[in-house]
Amino acid sequence: MWTTRNRGPIAMHSSMMTGTEILKAMVDANGHIRVLNGPTAEHITVCRSDGSALLEGDLPREILDDFLRQSFVWQDGEENAKHVTVFRLTNDGKNAGKKVTSNRLRRNARLRRNLAP
């Protein structure tokens, strides 16, 4: 696990995670997505509530587009003077991220029951 000074743990590079894992990380950190439209490139970052980076690297645009298409995120206002647009989780996005945890807990409970003597 990587860590950054004064920012806490970073689980893994965003390009190595599934959309569902990213939603779960956002739910756990009360996070949001920031899109910076730079002069030569677009940078999409998954952030904690305090604005620090939650994951390493840029989020692929395809994942943000999928989140928008599935109504998992909504655009919180227009692009600001610093060329940043913020996207926040909808209730559907929060529920999708929470389901990962509950599905894992149920699966683990079944495994423990099956392995019990």
In tens, the pLDDT along 7-42 reads 444 445 666 788 888 999 999 999 999 999 988 999
Given a cut of 70, whether residue 4 has pLDDT beyond it is no
Least Cα distance to 72 among 16, 26, 8, 13 occurs for 26
Number of structural domains the chain divides into: 1
pTM: 0.74
In single-letter form, the type of residue at position 11 comes to: A
Average pLDDT over residues 1-6: 40
Residue 103 burial class via C-beta count within 10 angstroms: exposed 0-12, middle 13-18, buried 19 and up: exposed
Given a cut of 50, whether residue 3 has pLDDT beyond it is no
Could you read off the pLDDT of 39-65 as tens digits, one per residue? 899 999 999 999 999 988 899 999 999
Residue numbers of the domain that contains 97: 2-115
CATH code of the domain covering residue 11 = 1.10.10
In single-letter form, the type of residue at position 59 comes to: L
